[in-house]
Amino acid sequence: MAEKDQVTTYTIAFIDLEIDPKTKKILDIGSVKGNGNSFHKSSPLEFIQFLNGTDYLCGHNVYNHDLKYISEVVSTAGINLVNVIDTLPLSPLLFPTNPYHALLKDDKLQSEELNNPLNDSIKAKDLFYDEVAAFKQLNETLKQIFYLLLRDKKEFAAFFRFLGYTNPAISAETLVRQQFRNEICEHADIAKIINEHPVELAYCLSLTDSFIRNNKVHSITPPWVLKN
């Protein structure tokens, strides 16, 4: 029902790619490991060597972008694709008061480079550990709710697995009604919502929780969350 003290036992690499918009070829690869070792080259073969022995891969919007071009490389390096963590969908879940969830690209203002994947992989690393810290700061009931709603969704499953977060022996409906008894109508069909719209419910509960805790802070749901 809680995280195991194993966050540092797994090896993890954070990545970002620069892709030619016309040819879709990989122009540049940036990566940094949890231990600080870094990679900044265009060679997929050398990147495979860099990744060897790594358990998890993490990036920002990695499912909709990076994995399209590098999934074969990741698999060849021995990383199971179910162990890919995407910081983008986690961000509005764990930081519902943030007005945006893109990685800041302000380093471009001081650089002649169009893009710097290594810098962006470092930013993804920092964001990931911020997300780990934010999850740990949630009350235990909300952690359990998020786990039960999202544990089998590819965008979230690896995050819980990386943390070693285990299955609470209680139903999600019971926990939702317990945690939000003053905010949700007692006649609402919570079981149906959990079954049919678990991701949407998780985001809604994150917003509701932020309203409870931050009376004067207005949370913002990004348009891409609403659309998807």
Low-confidence winner among 17-26, 100-109, 132-141 (lowest mean pLDDT): 100-109
Separation of first and last alpha carbons in the chain = 30
Higher-pLDDT residue of 60 and 5 is 60
Asked whether residue 113 carries a pLDDT value surpassing 60, the answer given is no
Residue 219 banded pLDDT, cuts 50, 70, 90:
low
What's the whole-number mean pLDDT along residues 77-95?
95
Q: The tokens of 25 are what?
A: 């070829």
CB-based burial label for 109 (10 Å; 0-12, 13-18, 19+): exposed
Name which of 100, 153, 94, 151 is nearest 128 in CA terms.
94
Average pLDDT, the chain: 87
Q: Domain spans of the chain?
A: 7-136, 140-153+167-227
Q: Assess contact for 198 and 149: CB atoms under 8 A.
A: yes
Predicted local distance difference test score (pLDDT) of residue 186? 86
Q: Is the dihedral of CA 48, 54, 58, 62 positive or negative?
A: positive
- Pick the more confident residue, 47 or 228: 47
Interval 118-147 mean pLDDT: 95
pLDDT band at 104 (very low <50, low <70, confident <90, very high): low
SS3 content of the chain, % helix, strand, coil (to 5): 50, 10, 35
Whole-structure pTM value: 0.87
**Amino acid making up residue 75:** S
Percent of the chain at pLDDT > 70 equals 85
* 8 Å CB contact between 184 and 177: yes
Question: How far, in Å, CA of 224 to CA of 90, rounded?
Answer: 13
Q: Name the more confident of 3 and 152.
A: 152
CATH class, range 7-136: alpha beta
Q: What letter does residue 18 receive in the DSSP assignment?
A: E
- Residue from 109, 64, 107 nearest 84 by CA: 64
- The pLDDT value given to residue 210: 86
Task: Give the integer Cα–Cα distance in Å for 81 and 55.
Answer: 10
